[in-house]
Chain A
Amino acid sequence: MSATAYVNARLLDPESGLDAPGGLLVERGRIADIGPRLFAEGVPDGARRVDCGGHCLAPGLIDMRVQLREPGEEHKETIVTAGQAAVVGGVTSVVALPNTEPVIDDVAGVEFIARRAREAKLVKVYTYAAATRRLEGKEITEIGLLAEFGARGFTDGLKAIANARVMRRALSYARAFDQVIIQHPEDPSLADGVMNEGEIATRLGLDGIPTAAEAIMVERDLRLVELTGGRYHAAHVSTAAAVDAIRRAKARGLAVTCDTAPHYFTLNETAVGDYRTFAKVSPPLRSEEDRQAVAEAVADGTIDAIASDHCPHDQEGKRLPFAIAEAGIAGLETLLPLSLALHHKGGIGLLDLLARVTARPAAILGLPGGRLAKGAPADLVLFDPEHPWLIDPDSFRSKSKNSPFDKHPVQGKVLATIVDGRPLYEAEV
């Protein structure tokens, strides 16, 4: 079996705190060795030698919130096209939401995803399963069986688990299998608007969603976590109020984690501008104060993870009056560069930032990747954190190009992506 020696790299491993020049040896799809002086005596006989040119070699990104659109909406995305987009973004593992057609709420659905991912031979594809049958928010799914077949957490996807009794039971029952419940934290009765509530929504004549819709759901859920001892993860947190609530809960020692998406610390509600549907997301882009609070919470660790919240939509879904346009951004290919902006602005160290897209999501979901360690899968990303470029959605590998980041300047480029030792992507530089 041939080996590959990655030489002349800046090794970055958030888990161990390693940030040093060195080399990494890959054998049989795993990291066989790693270290600053690894290839001081030259690369092993027969090993392929890859010169990293001094660029950063880090664990491949783990994107814990992705919509694959397969099965059911293959005209928007498939497991293959999402996989191709992922490798361009330096993402080596994706975790899929269960809001497909049909919904992933039984073992057959979980097995379908696993089979299609094996056939695609691209990135690792994990899936959540629905927390309630058909995402109806009434009856909990077979959490034990689904977990046994590989489901990595339970969520109703874009819908909040709104009923407190159902949420209590899900949190409580999932404890038996050490499974995490992932919430879309929005009180649906308050979240029937289409953008952030405030002056801009008022001027545009659009129904607003108050920040309280998120805060209320998070605070309720935290009570239920306390009541049940369950594991809870709040997805795509967008408000200062929710961040504060989670920060306090963590200080009290609750088993609570959360993520956000790059658009919540990159953009604010003004991006909606003159009814730009590409800036319509759920939850909505918030005020500048909220944006700053989210960025700070990523830096101080209150927000554990950054996920792309990849939400592919075709043109027909976006070329509509704002109120009825689809919500969401195709984000797989821009996760790393948009996140790196937080580091470049000086708010967070490079290792800490990388932890939010590697080690932390791996720990939350119990995934094997996310670290550079002997014996770990050789899921790697090689990137240049300084390289400046402009985002161009037309060049996305994703089937859908819905991104508000057209011509958005970023700094940091993925140069190569390796999954289980297989080089799947190399940038043209």
Chain B
Amino acid sequence: MATLGLRPHDSGFPHRHLLGIEGLSADQISFLLDLSESYVALSRSEQKKTDLLRGRTVINLFFESSTRTRTSFELAGKRLGADVINMSVAWSSIKKGETLIDTAMTLNAMHPDVLVVRHPDSGAVKLLSEKVNGAIINAGDGSHEHPTQALLDALTIRRRKGRLAGLTVAICGDILHSRVARSNVHLLSTMGARVRLVAPPTLLPTAIERMGVEVFFDMRKALEGCDIVMMLRLQTERMHGSFVPSIREYFRFYGLDREKLSAAKDDALVMHPGPMNRGVEIDSELADDIDRSLIREQVEMGVAVRMACLDVLTRSLRRNEPPGDST
């Protein structure tokens, strides 16, 4: 459903765009993760840069403010030798879509090879992918998907635990509005991990259990026997009486602290996509505990995963093939 433009002759990753995790096979995900590993090595070496994408143009098109993801993509593009341009577009639903389609047309005329797009509306990146010629990477659309985040989370887990299959992962917090949660649910269940979701009922979307997950309202029960505890950010505007009554009540029942974490396995690890609300969804000291927290490692893996994505989506170009559904 989420990925389009099958190119059957390209065995490793046959899609033209990366619009979501839903629809990717376990082999395709493993292929991306394996490739990412090589970019971790490169990023840790002295000479961090290749000229793989020399002469290629990557445009970061962000309709929603983001420092971390944009920077991560920018660095990934530059390390591959691409020309990277950042475009931030102020987006309000009052101005409606003229901006989206017009921007797409304008950018198309600049012949970008890859467009990295973030947009506050679910499905907007898919819509854009129908209007442009280059490859599209979804850097987060509304509450729908954030595929590179799920890939970097998976890479982080796999490096620390050696596998994904058979692990129990609890995802906690604002599932309702979270594209990170959706992409992670798709990826982890495709790879054979057991996924538990923990949130107050007001922050859980309807029929989420149909996506092959177990749902918990009680965080201690949810964390029992878990290998990974993945925390989600709770937006400020949702903290005061709209979805949860107050910050202190939320932290009391759904904030991760050492006491709740003690229900998980002794070697359970903690993740967070950032930026964190310390003292809201996660205890500050725990977030900084390098024995338990993978949060900084996630940032490092982010760059490697995005390098891998830029690499695979430009392979057909580099083989001088026409983009799209040729033969």
Q: How far is the CB of A102 from chain B (nearest CB, A)?
A: 21
* Chain B residues within 8 Å of A208, by CB: 205-206
In the complex the two chains form, what is the Cα distance from A206 to B143 in whole Å?
7
**A5-34 CB contact bits vs B (8 Å, 1 = yes)?**
000000000000000000000000000000
- Category for how many chain A residues contact B: 20 to 34
Interface positions, chain B 124-145, Cβ under 8 Å from A, are 124, 126-127, 141-145
Q: Does B319 contact A (CB under 8 A)?
A: no
Q: Does A119 contact B (CB under 8 A)?
A: no
Q: How far is the CB of B102 from chain A (nearest CB, A)?
A: 11
* Chain B residues within 8 Å of A203, by CB: 1, 22, 182, 211
- Category for how many chain B residues contact A: 20 to 34
Q: Does B122 contact A (CB under 8 A)?
A: yes
In the complex the two chains form, what is the Cα distance from A206 to B121 in whole Å?
9
* Residue pair A323, B126 in contact (C-beta under 8 Å): no
Q: A205-B142, A205-B144 are in contact. Are A323 and B121 (CB under 8 A)?
A: yes
Interface positions, chain A 313-334, Cβ under 8 Å from B, are 316, 319-325
Q: Does B100 contact A (CB under 8 A)?
A: yes
* Residue pair B179, A320 in contact (C-beta under 8 Å): no
Q: A198-B206, A321-B121, A323-B121 are in contact. Are A205 and B97 (CB under 8 A)?
A: no
Q: A321-B97, A321-B100 are in contact. Are A202 and B208 (CB under 8 A)?
A: yes
* Chain B residues within 8 Å of A428, by CB: none
* Residue pair A319, B182 in contact (C-beta under 8 Å): no
Q: A198-B207, A203-B182, A208-B206 are in contact. Are A275 and B100 (CB under 8 A)?
A: no
Q: How far is the CB of B173 from chain A (nearest CB, A)?
A: 16
Q: A197-B206, A198-B207 are in contact. Are A205 and B182 (CB under 8 A)?
A: yes
* Residue pair B123, A322 in contact (C-beta under 8 Å): yes
* Residue pair B1, A274 in contact (C-beta under 8 Å): yes
Choose among B101, B141, B211 the residue that contacts A202 (Cβ–Cβ < 8 A): B211
Q: Does B233 contact A (CB under 8 A)?
A: no
In the complex the two chains form, what is the Cα distance from A208 to B204 in whole Å?
12
Closest A residue by C-beta to B1: A274
In the complex the two chains form, what is the Cα distance from A274 to B22 in whole Å?
12
Q: Does A201 contact B (CB under 8 A)?
A: yes
Q: Does B210 contact A (CB under 8 A)?
A: yes
Choose among A202, A275, A321 the residue that contacts B205 (Cβ–Cβ < 8 A): A202
* Residue pair B205, A201 in contact (C-beta under 8 Å): yes
* Residue pair A321, B124 in contact (C-beta under 8 Å): yes
A199, A210, A321, A324: residue with the most chain B Cβ atoms closer than 10 Å: A321
In the complex the two chains form, what is the Cα distance from A325 to B126 in whole Å?
14
Interface positions, chain B 29-52, Cβ under 8 Å from A, are none
* Residue pair B210, A199 in contact (C-beta under 8 Å): yes
Q: A316-B98, A321-B121, A321-B124 are in contact. Are A202 and B206 (CB under 8 A)?
A: yes
Q: Does A204 contact B (CB under 8 A)?
A: yes
Q: How far is the CB of B129 from chain A (nearest CB, A)?
A: 11
In the complex the two chains form, what is the Cα distance from A218 to B127 in whole Å?
36
In the complex the two chains form, what is the Cα distance from A324 to B63 in whole Å?
15
Q: How far is the CB of B180 from chain A (nearest CB, A)?
A: 11
Q: How far is the CB of B125 from chain A (nearest CB, A)?
A: 9
* Residue pair B182, A322 in contact (C-beta under 8 Å): no
* Chain A residues within 8 Å of B143, by CB: 205-206
**B197-225 CB contact bits vs A (8 Å, 1 = yes)?**
00000000111101100000000000000
Q: A197-B206, A205-B142 are in contact. Are A319 and B122 (CB under 8 A)?
A: no
Closest B residue by C-beta to A196: B206
Interface positions, chain A 212-259, Cβ under 8 Å from B, are none
In the complex the two chains form, what is the Cα distance from A323 to B127 in whole Å?
12
* Chain B residues within 8 Å of A201, by CB: 205-206
Q: A202-B206, A203-B22, A205-B122 are in contact. Are A320 and B96 (CB under 8 A)?
A: yes
In the complex the two chains form, what is the Cα distance from A202 to B211 in whole Å?
9
Q: A320-B97, A322-B122 are in contact. Are A204 and B207 (CB under 8 A)?
A: no
Q: How far is the CB of A258 from chain B (nearest CB, A)?
A: 26
Closest A residue by C-beta to B119: A321
Closest B residue by C-beta to A275: B123
* Chain A residues within 8 Å of B123, by CB: 204-206, 274-275, 321-323
Closest B residue by C-beta to A318: B97
* Residue pair B207, A199 in contact (C-beta under 8 Å): yes
Q: Does B93 contact A (CB under 8 A)?
A: yes
**B62-86 CB contact bits vs A (8 Å, 1 = yes)?**
0000000000000000000000000
Q: How far is the CB of A336 from chain B (nearest CB, A)?
A: 33
In the complex the two chains form, what is the Cα distance from A203 to B1 in whole Å?
10
Closest B residue by C-beta to A276: B123
Choose among A198, A275, A324 the residue that contacts B126 (Cβ–Cβ < 8 A): A275
In the complex the two chains form, what is the Cα distance from A164 to B161 in whole Å?
58
In the complex the two chains form, what is the Cα distance from A141 to B121 in whole Å?
38
In the complex the two chains form, what is the Cα distance from A198 to B209 in whole Å?
11
* Residue pair B206, A319 in contact (C-beta under 8 Å): no
Q: A198-B207, A205-B182 are in contact. Are A275 and B142 (CB under 8 A)?
A: no
Choose among A198, A204, A316, A320 the residue that contacts B122 (Cβ–Cβ < 8 A): A204
Q: How far is the CB of A177 from chain B (nearest CB, A)?
A: 40
Q: A199-B210, A275-B127 are in contact. Are A206 and B122 (CB under 8 A)?
A: yes
Q: How far is the CB of A407 from chain B (nearest CB, A)?
A: 18
Q: A198-B206, A202-B205, A208-B206 are in contact. Are A321 and B122 (CB under 8 A)?
A: yes
Report, nearest first, the 7 A-B pairs whose CB atoms are least far apart.
A205-B144, A321-B121, A275-B123, A205-B143, A320-B97, A205-B122, A321-B124
**13 A–B contacts, CB within 8 A, in A order:** A198-B207, A201-B205, A202-B208, A203-B22, A204-B144, A205-B122, A205-B143, A274-B1, A274-B2, A321-B124, A322-B123, A323-B122, A323-B142
Known: A274-B1, A316-B97. 9 other contacts (CB 8 A): A201-B206, A275-B126, A316-B96, A319-B101, A321-B97, A321-B122, A321-B142, A322-B122, A325-B97
